[in-house]
Structure 1
């Protein structure tokens, strides 16, 4: 390992010096001055400011409040970022002690308040600036008490550690924590240094596939939590369905009692590509017979500003104000496969439809991802550039953004196709204009993975283009969408922001169903949501979506569907589909309002 990651087993605490205290007094920390504020990640480390509504909700619902004996309990923020959690933790402990009779203006009581916090509150972060700022907010909250302490230098030490707490050598010096909270950094697997990635993969069950770093923070947190300890994180919700989330789902189910999963419908972290969920659970001692017996939890969807209207800490006192969308689940109903958490009426209608349909892959279909070039800005060109190159090396290209419901809006873009119709690579010297154009970007093209690791020629696309296959008449759909958008195309190549669906049957008949409200309902209720109102369509998932068995159409219904598709009359197509499937009015209302 590089020296940057040679952390010891006993890391240093953060020393609060007189100079730092004086700096905080003269310039109290303000949120607006912090990197990470308003959802902007701190560059290179993925930390973002956690809104106070989320902090408050998590602490309330793990039971870290002044009504509990929190002064005797240990708590840690495993990736403290800008100190949002730590500030509120300190406030709550201080308020608890004052309510018990301690006077912060009394030197002895002030020392007790400070010592209680420094003994029980922990934080860590790989970013030294994050640790420094978190220490600042603690000083700001305790400045009255700190000024009454004996003024040694350093005045006090905080159990705040500027280290990588995920490495196996890291030791906090205690057996476990009573509470663990946090907003782990938003770092994708591709952004983790290879030497550290190797360590994570060897040490953590959750570091599998294209895992995101928050998965490892979950596992580390569960392992550090005492039996009966409470846990609250806000993270992306991708682990609900993603393949890499399977080990994490398994660990959560096997080691904890879930208390609540709260999907946030707004976007409190707008500058990071995350659809956040709050996860609250309690670690259970698996040696006791009561473990995992009929444990129920609540799945809710809410806006960040409405979190105060949900309370799930005490299951006997659960309340949801203003008709909050919350559903009770039994944990035993979940397993390590994807978690499909939805409101009962959504699942009921979906189940009724599925009983009348067949899986997409039961039809004679082939679903293929579009072509990836690994250098779109070079290989995909506009008409003006295309006019300067050889015609027979260019093919029209359709991107996801071009696909509408029943049609495409081609923007005169072309892809440079360096392959013959038999998929062999062309001799680029036979196309001097194109060679001259591509040569301007040769160093960039040579640096692509497909050239470096797969020994492709510098002017090839990442994916080999099978012209005869890629330009066939077929149905295409975007990979990311907020609506069911399917169109029939021919003679163009699909970009990798599209999927192509090849079908041996009647394309018009199929596309009528694919653009129906029924299919939209099934898509939206099945596909992983990546941001509010948008879902990602994956080949694996598309193959499993239910479709109408074409054999159930009567000749009259078939002719009617094809006629309506030619007219793009999607409303009347919906009526036909509802009649064929005998969908009751109550279910139609759910489908069309979803």
Structure 2
């Protein structure tokens, strides 16, 4: 349908409004909606007819307001979606948020509710219906007195007006309405000239934009600097929307979001966590962890509720199946027990806190390394189709290239250790255009490459256009065109313990003492003390460590969990005596190891 539709927003709106009017047999409407209706003699009627023919086959003559919300969200262009982070919020999620924010209020006739990233207005529609049903107040007055929306996109504000008009018209109100809808960037809240009507709200609800730092436009990044919560790392766009909502609320006002759950642990949300803790706000979190609420989106979310009053308490509930039960038992956690810098481990909080209090944090016990970042692994990393004393042979696009052995290193993808493959099974070759001099990796210059490695140089030259396209075209500006995209992990100590970056079962780690083995993808702990690494291996392969990961690490779909540094860095490693280390290293049976370790983790 999308492929065959016009991309002109006004015509799309006309088609969708006309569909709604036709399928719901609406005969009375106001002048605002009239301009969107396509009649039989209209020049756009043929476009409408094509869509009607499709809908007749698929919808069997039914089209409700919730369908309109989905349609409006569906036709946002991919480029706009990347920049604005717009995404459809399911109606059961919206209703749950409203129940929490409005359910116990006695002032529904006068309550002021805002959605500060309203999109086409799903939340505002639900608020209007809720107030209308509970109080009998007309939509005309509700739109004037109770609901407020802000969105950066003019077409979203227009569609919000359409949706609210259709809601009222379908329930018998067909006058022309006035709205409190502001077409502006919510990040402008700290700028002079902000509309004074858009502050001092009783309630703020919504779904703040899902845009990561690397996709934010330069102007947007600059605006985020006005907000204290954005001072740690490369912020994501949803983060300042917490501070803005809080500042827009009256004292004792409430907010309800469906939002990313990454703020619980991520480095770039440290200042946001500190903001909540410093103010002592009453917060409730229903965490969906690895369950994906948004169909077709790899987005991990939670419901977040805040009351603008100081209680010093946070309440947490894990709802991994998104059952959204009416009655849930929250764990109550005092802010004084949390650490904004470390991140909030809220799931199985007492057990996790106990484990983290043991010994020394993992991040201080041993250094970790991510793999090298060529930004074009298909170019540099290969499995030789054959080899001889001088060359490895690489085949790509039906062309065979010979690559000098001396410029190649062994390399593995330790993510493959999540399966039962051996180290040799996952070992490949990498073209390594660097020299290790005085403990530093120095790029081999072009003259030396041509002279000493002419075959490798010729191969890389054949891939020059591919290499130039790295980093969204910034590869053309690298000091030398065949340099890796990043300089991380070019130096690796001899002793390495490899493990996957994500896993769906207790870890399998492999220790290697080899100065000439490199890593791409996955992770490794590194050092010079093999015995220390063997002790660590016993702990990381234990049930205790895996249960900690399941409770606290970032979850992914299909039961996978992140083993990135931020998720495991605070796991406590006990202080062992030499005799205790000997006892642990002698144990081979997994159950015996788990039982032995339990005494150190209480």
Structures share fold, TM-score greater than 0.5:
yes
Change (3 A) 1:233 1:304: farther
Question: Residues 232-311 of structure 1: matches in 2 within 5 Å?
Answer: 232-255=256-279, 257-265=281-289, 266-284=291-309, 292=310, 294-303=311-320, 305-310=322-327
Structure 2 residue runs without a partner (length 5+): 1-29, 40-51, 53-62, 386-392, 396-400
Corresponding residue number in structure 2 for 1:459: 482
1:472 alignment partner, one of 490, 494, 498: 494
> Taking structure 2 as the reference length, what is the TM-score of the superposition?
0.76
Deviation at 1:76, TM superposition (A): 1.0
Change (3 A) 1:501 1:226: same
2:91 alignment partner, one of 52, 55, 61: 52
Corresponding residue number in structure 2 for 1:199: 223
How far apart, CA to CA, are the structure 2 residues paired with 1:361 and 1:252? 26
Q: How many residues align?
A: 518
Deviations 1:337-389 (A, max 9, x none): 3443435xx444445555664433565x4322221112223222343463623
Corresponding residue number in structure 1 for 2:454: 432
How far apart, CA to CA, are the structure 2 residues paired with 1:355 and 1:207? 28
SS of residue paired to 1:576: helix
Corresponding residue number in structure 2 for 1:107: none
Deviation at 1:435, TM superposition (A): 2.2
Corresponding residue number in structure 2 for 1:330: 334
Deviation at 1:236, TM superposition (A): 0.8
Is 1:386 aligned with 2:412? no
How far apart, CA to CA, are the structure 2 residues paired with 1:223 and 1:464? 42
Change (3 A) 1:276 1:118: same
How far apart, CA to CA, are the structure 2 residues paired with 1:16 and 1:253? 50
Question: Residues 27-426 of structure 1: matches in 2 within 5 Å?
Answer: 29=65, 30=67, 31-36=69-74, 42=81, 44-64=83-103, 68-98=106-136, 112-144=138-170, 147-149=173-175, 155-167=176-188, 168-169=191-192, 171-174=194-197, 175-255=199-279, 257-265=281-289, 266-284=291-309, 292=310, 294-303=311-320, 305-310=322-327, 320=328, 326-334=330-338, 336-342=340-346, 346-350=348-352, 353=355, 357-360=359-362, 363=365, 365-384=366-385, 386=394, 388-390=401-403, 391-404=405-418, 407-408=422-423, 410-411=425-426, 413-422=428-437, 423-426=441-444
Deviation at 1:211, TM superposition (A): 0.9
Corresponding residue number in structure 1 for 2:49: none
How far apart, CA to CA, are the structure 2 residues paired with 1:303 and 1:405? 25
How far apart, CA to CA, are the structure 2 residues paired with 1:74 and 1:231? 12
How far apart, CA to CA, are the structure 1 residues paired with 2:116 and 2:394? 53
Corresponding residue number in structure 1 for 2:44: none
Deviation at 1:260, TM superposition (A): 1.0
How far apart, CA to CA, are the structure 2 residues paired with 1:421 and 1:54? 55
How far apart, CA to CA, are the structure 2 residues paired with 1:34 and 1:45? 15
How far apart, CA to CA, are the structure 1 residues paired with 2:564 and 2:333? 27
Corresponding residue number in structure 2 for 1:7: none
How far apart, CA to CA, are the structure 1 residues paired with 2:357 and 2:340? 24
SS of residue paired to 1:248: helix
8 Å Cα contact 1:275-1:531 kept in structure 2: no
Give the RMSD, CA atoms, in angstroms.
Answer: 3.6
8 Å Cα contact 1:528-1:535 kept in structure 2: yes
Change (3 A) 1:211 1:131: same
How far apart, CA to CA, are the structure 1 residues paired with 2:320 and 2:547? 22
How far apart, CA to CA, are the structure 1 residues paired with 2:425 and 2:156? 47
Question: Residues 533-552 of structure 1: matches in 2 within 5 Å?
Answer: 533-539=559-565, 542-551=568-577
Q: Which has the higher contact order (CA 8 A, sep 6+)?
A: 1
SS of residue paired to 2:425: coil
Deviations 1:145-166 (A, max 9, x none): 67542xxxxx333222232121
How far apart, CA to CA, are the structure 2 residues paired with 1:471 and 1:280? 47
How far apart, CA to CA, are the structure 1 residues paired with 2:37 and 2:172? 11
Deviation at 1:396, TM superposition (A): 2.9
> Taking structure 1 as the reference length, what is the TM-score of the superposition?
0.77
Deviation at 1:551, TM superposition (A): 2.9
